[in-house]
Amino acid sequence: MEDEEGPECGKPDFVLLDQVTMEDFMENLKRRFQKGRIYTYIGEVLVSVNPYQELPLYGPEAIAKYQGRELYERPPHLYAVANAAYRAMKRRSRDTCIVISGESGAGKTEASKHIMQYIAAVTNPSQRAEVERVKNVLLKSTCVLEAFGNARTNRNHNSSRFGKYMDINFDFKGDPVGGHIHSYLLEKSRVLKQHVGERNFHSFYQVLDSDEKSHYQAVMEAMRVIGFSPEEVASVRRILAAILHLGNIEFVELEEGGQEQGRLAVTEEVLVDHVAELTATPREMVLRCLLARTVASGGRDLIEKGHTAAEASYARDACAKAVYQRLFEWVVDRINGVMEPRGRDPRRDGKDTVIGVLDIYGFEVFPVNSFEQFCINYCNEKLQQLFIQLILKQEQEEYEREGIAWQSVEYFNNATIVELVERPHRGILAVLDEACSTAGPITDRIFLQTLDTHHRHHPHYTSRQVHLCPRLARWEGARPLPPHWPWPPRYSVEGFIDKNRDSLFQDFKRLLYNSSDPTLRAMWPDGQQDITEVTKRPLTAGTLFKNSMVALVENLASKEPFYVRCIKPNEDKVAEKLDEGHCRHQVAYLGLLENVRVRRAGFASRQPYPRFLLRYKMTCEYTWPNHLLGSDKAAVGALLEQHGLQGDVAFGHSKLFIRSPRTLVTLEQSRACLIPIIVLLLQKAWRGTLARRYCRRLRAVYTIMRWFRRHKVRAHLTELQRQFQTARQPPHYGRDLVWPQPPAVLQPFQDICQALFCRWRARQLVKNIPPSDMAQIKAKVAAMAALQELRQDWGCRRAWARDYLSSATDNPTASGLFAQRLKTLREKDGFGAVLFSSHVRKVNRFNKSRDRALLLTDRHLYKLEPGRQYRVMRTVPLDAVTGLSVTSGRDQLVVVHSRGYDDLVVCLHRSRPPLDNRVGELVGVLASHCQGEGRPLEVRVSDCIPLTQRGARRLVSVEPRPEQPEPDFRCSRGAFTLLWPSC
């Protein structure tokens, strides 16, 4: 344990006291309480003293401090016990339980809240939605159950007037996936009356009192989170109001002399109206149930029997108690329905583990104790018996069984007290049941006399009739006398029979079952029973409670228990005050001193040898991974000897007994240091296994893929060979053949094959073309590449004559003149060939359009004037021409761009046939020539062509006009428009 508490704070574990006496125990308890240390250990049992004030002991920082730690690594705390129970559940997959006990006002309810908060804080790190929902319901359920089941008493402002045991289900990850609440013996008599200075259940005040508004809102929010519908919440409020109005109803017997002499009536019938409205039942039926009851005669006849005023009051009170009890049970069942694990399949998800939290009523001793206190204190006796069996008796018996020498500790075994209460046929509850089932006038006094007859010689039983003493002279009742209680409770048997019968007339059950409120109706399923139906006698309240206690103890005994023993420091509920005499009584009847003696005389922990080796064998070279010694006991001895811990243990026949918790802490620390190394080794081996398995699978996959690829390649090549068997046949050379879809791996190969095939087929087609046509073919190919399919019609399907001005067909009147001019230019400029010639319509920078001729040779571009024997008007070196611009339509507009010269804007026309498409021919021959010279020629296709003339930027576009006889240009605002005669 970390040294966070100095000597001035006392011993953090009562086992460490120098002497085990009541004086030393109380001195240590008082010293720790004065220093704000409200928690102290007795081995693994936690002793808690209610501080009656808020202390800075809780919250996220404290939770982180205790999370994952061993019990003795931190100072005593509730969180340490909660963590120990949670780790035992998660590590060993064992069901555990935390039993919180102590008298009323000792802080049991607050302890259970802190335990629930710790469990909620350390679970669900992955933030799963379903787990978060369950956690919220678990936390909020406490608020709701406190509202309906807790009340203010003279000993406790928030006293639980019912017993609660909650099972929390966890999955294999250690996250809560559900839960179930068991409730025991609600003190429903509190609905009718309370002791002076006490209150009814909180729920009534939260509905009525404005001072309780914050608590009421907290309960409403909790019910919303849990899943109560608005209709159900409204029904709950109406039921509470109905109980209050029902309690105000009074009865009067009509005076003699009237017409209704001897009949019973309600003093204020408006209260009946309120009850009928709030319970959604007919007013006449409510009034009939209050004033009379229906009885079945020997046959099937029904008789209505009127009540006396006393009988009516009894029926009213029984109805009020029963309605509230059914309401409380319905709330618990509703919460359980929401908390039940959803979609859990043990075959798929594994078995759930459980942590149980028991918050049961505290031991109560009042000046007058009735049937409720008798049941509550019997419950505490039953739990004390379980504590004795698990902590004291079983421990000593185990030492004897294992052959461990030790000093026996005397303790009181209260089994005789429990047997006095629950023994069949002769026990107090059995005698009470017999009295309740006997026909005839059986009174509480007759019941007491029967008890005296059976138990007058019992050492732990006394009554006024048996032992008359001055202290008991004014008390009529009986009491079991347990020696471990310094002041034995005295019970008044008045009302025992009525409370044990717990009878309610069937008329009220049928009335509420037939309510139109579905929530109220669901609380009374037994109301559908016909009045003439014969049923078994229902079990009495005492028998039901005894059976539930037996089942509870069996449930707790099947789990690994952790104990929180709560002590109430004073009766005044005042902070920083410890009444030593009062605390002595609690220490005595809780058996804490005997617990310390057993722990000091015995051993803090014991484990079977195989389990001990399984957990700690990795810390010793002789036992890891498996030992070769003669037995597990010898292996454990070798392990402890290597750690130097053999002096703090004892060897039993089948178990190792460890005296000091320090030994366990040392072993756990050694194990914690080695676990990462072992985990790393296991991860390494497992990752290697996974890698080898993956490698084998990968090799198999690659083998399959390789053979499959081969198959697909062969199949594809075979299909190609079959498809292209006729590809060499002229004239198409496989033009119409369809290439099959290749596998992905052959796609690049097929792309190359297609390119090769296209080149081969082109070669086959081209090699048969005469040499005289090759220049035309090259020009067409150049035009196609330059226009890039942007101009659909460019004259590719006709023969290209190139020199149209020398053609008698195209220029019949002036072809001779042009031939003479061409001869002169050839002699002057020395060009080799005419690339293109045609008549054009041009527009200049002065916005004047004229007919001209265009001559393109391999050296120059000439603009000629046809009207003057084709006189040269402009000469541009061909290497100065940088590009051409054409449109995408059928018009013959061409813009010639040249470096250092104005752009030339012309339209090819006066062709034969008219408007023949020759733009593509001009582009092709010029592009082919430039390719031959190895210089670029930019060809642009646009319907709005920019150009430059004398440094000014202009645009030229085309406007189709059906009525236009000849192409011509129109100039406006620095732009040219070609008016093209459209067909």
Q: Which residues are annotated binding-site positions?
A: 102-109
- Among the listed residues 233, 594, 558, the one whose alpha carbon sits nearest the alpha carbon of residue 396: 594
Q: How far lies 723's CA from each of 718, 730, 759, 763, 770, in Å?
A: 9, 16, 18, 20, 31
In single-letter form, the type of residue at position 18 comes to D
Residue positions forming the annotated binding site for ATP: 102-109
- Calculate Rg over the CA atoms of the chain: 54
Tally Cβ neighbours within 10 Å of residue 222: 22
- Of 361, 380, 368, 367, residue with least CA distance to 161: 361
Distance CA 948, CA 963 (A): 30
The CA-atom distances, in angstroms, between 748 and each of 718, 739, 745 are: 17, 14, 7
* Distances in whole angstroms, Cα of residue 42 to Cα of each of 83, 659, 676, 930: 17, 14, 33, 107
Give the distance, in angstroms, between the CA of residue 266 and the centroid of all CA atoms in the same chain: 56
Using DSSP bridges, classify how beta strands 893-898 and 881-886 pair: parallel, antiparallel or unpaired.
antiparallel
Task: Please name which of 893, 850, 891 lies closest in space to residue 874, comparing C-alpha atoms.
Answer: 850
Asked if 868 and 802 count as a contact pair (C-beta separation under 8 A), the reply is no
**What is the rounded CA–CA span in Å between residue 841 and residue 322?**
115
Reduced to 3 states (helix: H, G, I; strand: E, B; else coil), residue 918 is coil
Beta strand 560-567 pairing with 96-101: parallel
DSSP 391: I
**Hey, which bits of 502-618 come out as E strands?**
560-567, 605-608
- Structure tokens belonging to residue 830: 């020395």
- Whether residue 791 contacts residue 888, with contact meaning beta carbons closer than 8 Å, is answered with yes
Q: Are strands 975-981 and 952-961 parallel, antiparallel or unpaired?
A: parallel
User: For 529-646, where are the E strands, in sequence order?
Assistant: 560-567, 605-608
Amino acid in position 858: D
Answer yes or no: are the C-beta atoms of 511 and 527 closer than 8 Å: yes
- The two tokens of residue 655 are 């178990």
CA distance 419 to 623: 50
β-pair partners for 838: 854
Centroid of chain to Cα 243: 40
